[in-house]
Amino acid sequence: MSVSDIREAITRAHHEEWARVVAALTRRFGDLDIAEESAAEAFAIAVERWPADGVPPNPGAWLTTAANRRAIDRIRRESKRDDKQKEARMLYDDAAPEPAGAIDDERLRLIFTCCHPALAMETRVALTLRMVGGLTMPEIARAFLVGEAAMGRRITRAKAKIKAARIPYRVPSEQDLPARVSGVLAVLFLVFNEGYLATGPGTDPVRHDLTAEAIRLTRLIRTLLPRDGEVAGLLALMLLTEARRAARVSPRGELVTLGEQDRGAWDPALIAEGHHLVRERLATGMPPGRYQILAAINAVHTSARDVRDTDWSQVVALYDQLIRLDPSPIVALNRAIAVAELDGPEVALAAVDRLEASLTGYHAYHATRADLLRRLGRSGPSRAAYDRAIELAGNTAETAYLTRRRDQLG
């Protein structure tokens, strides 16, 4: 096996096994710091040993064993070993199993721990991206548009609070579950977006491991709460977005916008399932929540065989409904993009310019503005906006697309 094959195997193992290893160690040792650091050490050992020894037949089991050994070594080195073991509530292999929660899945236990309401929402998302998604601190910092050091402190404080407050490592009871689900959905949506809109420079523009994991966990939550409209809405939104993944990046590695995508490459099974969920929620007659409206918008887009067939008036109407629930500048920006198709780029540009103070550090704001200026024939300002969007772009696929569009201005 070549060196590149080994590196690819380690990268794949990190994507596929990180959450399982961290969850298994958290279950055994009851300490997120021990779990995270020991998992990281296990992957570091793999980087050293696998090139010489070869990739093990079961990478996940190898990594879990290595991480367990590192965790035990660390605890043994502690000067107050007995106190440390009690604090961590260490569970040995021969310990009696705890009663099963609503869903018996270690990664869900980990998610509900990271998403505990005692933590601030941004902290829940960041902690889940680190502990469950395995993202690095720079990747998480970019997702939040904050400095790496600040994000590191935020996650450290979150783990300390979990320990100090003795937040339990378990799935909530059936009585407590509905109140806890909304926070988990918000986290899963962010995890999905980080996978679909990967932000690290030089990274793959789509991290299928994260999108697949977010969909898998959302499906599990839906089996638990089949009548929850927002669970169904989020699942539909993820499916309709994931359905377009194969058409999102060109063979040259360039981002392909929704209007330019080959719709024949979309996944018809995922689209059919997503549309079914949207129709199912509409049939209830219940007022839709944020995820249900976003799913309905995506259903309109994926119902059109050609971008020219898109019902833009319906898209704008849905954004009007959404903005009453979520009056955020990003929702307003996306509404303006739809308005450009319905009322023209000049009307849309006026709406976009009003968002400058809120979105000046957001690359999609400048990319949208650049495109509207281009359509209005204002090449100079359009070029400047493209330059700013390229400077802020999160990955190589976006950079390549924006650069080509800028260079086409002449």
Domains of the chain plus CATH, in order, are 3-88 (1.10.1740), 102-205 (no CATH)
Element (H, E) at 387: helix 379-392
Q: Which long-range contacts (CB under 8 A, 24 or more apart) does 82-91 make?
A: 87/31, 87/163, 88/29, 88/30, 88/31, 88/34, 89/29, 89/30, 90/28, 90/29, 90/30, 91/27, 91/28, 91/29, 91/30
Residue of 389, 327, 323, 335 lying closest to 361 (CA atoms)? 389
Measured between alpha carbons, how far is 410 from 408 in angstroms, rounded to an integer?
A: 5
Measured between alpha carbons, how far is 339 from 320 in angstroms, rounded to an integer?
A: 11
Cα 46 from chain centre: 26
Per-residue pLDDT of the chain (410 residues; tens, 9 = 90+): 788 889 899 988 998 889 889 999 988 888 888 999 999 999 999 999 999 899 999 999 999 999 999 999 888 887 555 555 555 444 333 333 344 444 557 888 888 888 888 888 878 888 888 888 888 888 788 766 678 898 888 888 888 888 888 887 877 777 787 778 888 998 899 889 877 875 444 445 567 777 888 898 899 888 878 889 999 999 999 999 999 999 999 999 899 999 999 999 999 999 999 999 999 999 999 999 999 999 999 999 999 999 999 999 999 999 999 999 999 999 999 999 999 999 999 999 999 999 999 999 999 999 999 999 999 999 999 999 999 999 998 788 899 999 999 999 97
> At residue 255, what are phi and psi to the nearest 5 degrees?
-60, 140
Residue 249: strand, helix, or coil: strand
* Predicted local confidence at residue 106, as pLDDT: 80
- How many other C-beta atoms are found inside a 10 Å radius of the C-beta of residue 168? 14
* Predicted local confidence at residue 356, as pLDDT: 95
* Predicted local confidence at residue 80, as pLDDT: 56
Type of residue found at 139: E
Measured between alpha carbons, how far is 277 from 237 in angstroms, rounded to an integer?
A: 9
